[in-house]
Amino acid sequence: MDITGKWSIAAVQVFNEKAEKLEWLTAKEIMGDDNAEDYLKESLAYHYIFTEDGRVLVCMPVPKDATKEEIDEALSSGEITLYDESTMILEKKAWKEEDGKLYFDTQIKGEVLGEEVSSWQEIKETADGIELEAFRLVRA
């Protein structure tokens, strides 16, 4: 599967406290839920851009209320990096293909029972896109 290009979030895996389990909620369900956390709703505007050179750019729209002066100041201080005029890069990560499988570098370091655990997580193909961490992504 060719994953290069721009992907948007179609669903998010969240913990259902009543059922005490993880479940997938679509972007539409989250946006229609008055009790959904603001950060969760805001994350639905994020995009993942997979480049041919193995980078993953996690991007979000520049806030509409940001003035040109504020943006210029944040750029010059290195606080933000723009992808284009209306999109800023939040994170730069990596992806790779190995033995016919796709992987995403979560950049999460750790160990289990004294053994180092890889930060690379397999990207799973779904019927309409891919699954990455707690997100289901579709082509934008």
Give the number of C-alpha atoms closer than 13 A to the C-alpha of residue 119, restricted to the C-beta side.
9
Distance CA 76, CA 48 (A): 24
**87-110: average pLDDT:** 94
- Quote the percentage of the chain above a pLDDT of 70: 100
Residue 27's nearest CA partner among 12, 15, 37, 49 is 12
In the predicted model, is pLDDT for residue 49 greater than 90?
yes
Distance CA 8, CA 48 (A): 6
**Residue 114: band (very low, low, confident or very high) from pLDDT cuts 50, 70, 90:** confident
**What is the residue-wise DSSP string for 20-59?**
TEEEEEEHHHHHT-TTS-HHHHHHTT-EEEE-TTSEEEEE
pLDDT score, position 88: 95
**Residue 125: band (very low, low, confident or very high) from pLDDT cuts 50, 70, 90:** very high
Q: What separation in angstroms does the CA of 70 have from each of 73, 91, 118, 119?
A: 5, 20, 39, 35
